[in-house]
Amino acid sequence: MKKRLIAVLLAASMVFSLAACGGKSSESETEEDKVKTEGTEETKEDDVEKPEVDTIHWARANSGNILVTVAKQQGYFDEVGIEVIEDPVESSAAALTALQTGQVDVTSNQGTNNPLQFIAEGSDFTIVGGYMLKGMYIVGKKETEYKDVTSLKGSKFAYAGVHPVVGMALLDAGIDPMDENQIEWLSYSTNSDRLAAVVAGEADYAVLSGDQLFAVGNNDQIEIKAWLDDLVPNYGCCRMNMNTEFVKQNPITVKLLLKALIRAEQWYLANTEECVSILAKEIGADEDYVAAYLLNENYVSSVDPCKNAVIKTWNGMVQMKFIDQEAADSINIEDHINTELYKAALDECVEEYYDEDPEFYDGRIQFFEENDQ
- Return d(Cα 317, Cα 167) in angstroms, integer: 9
How many CB atoms sit inside 10 A of residue 120's CB?
20
Mean pLDDT by 10 residues, the chain (373 residues): 39 37 40 49 63 97 90 97 95 93 96 93 97 94 96 95 91 93 92 95 94 94 95 88 98 98 98 94 92 92 95 92 92 98 98 98 97 93
Q: Classify burial at 81, counting beta carbons within 10 Å of its beta carbon; exposed 0-12, middle 13-18, buried 19 or more.
A: middle
Domain ranges, ordered by start, for the chain: 55-134+237-371, 137-231
Find out whether 258 and 303 touch, Cβ atoms under 8 Å. Answer: yes
- Return d(Cα 284, Cα 327) in angstroms, integer: 42
Which pLDDT value is given to residue 48? 79
Which pLDDT value is given to residue 233? 86
Which pLDDT value is given to residue 236? 80
Helix (H) or strand (E) holding 365: helix 358-371
244 residue type, one letter: T
Question: Who's near 13: CB < 8 A, 6+ residues apart?
Answer: none
Find out whether 224 and 136 touch, Cβ atoms under 8 Å. Answer: no
pTM score of the predicted model: 0.82
Topology alike, domains 55-134+237-371 and 137-231: yes
- Return d(Cα 193, Cα 187) in angstroms, integer: 10
Q: Classify burial at 169, counting beta carbons within 10 Å of its beta carbon; exposed 0-12, middle 13-18, buried 19 or more.
A: buried
Which pLDDT value is given to residue 33? 52
Q: What share of the chain is helix, strand, coil (3-state, %, to 5)?
A: 55, 15, 30
DSSP state of 61: P
**Is 137-231 CATH 3.40.50.2000?**
no
Find out whether 240 and 247 touch, Cβ atoms under 8 Å. Answer: no
Which pLDDT value is given to residue 62? 80
Which pLDDT value is given to residue 47? 66
At residue 80's C-alpha, the angle toward residues 282 and 348, to 5°, is: 110
CATH architecture of 55-134+237-371: 3-Layer(aba) Sandwich (3.40)
- Return d(Cα 338, Cα 334) in angstroms, integer: 8
Find out whether 164 and 316 touch, Cβ atoms under 8 Å. Answer: yes
Strand pairing of 156-159 and 184-187?
parallel
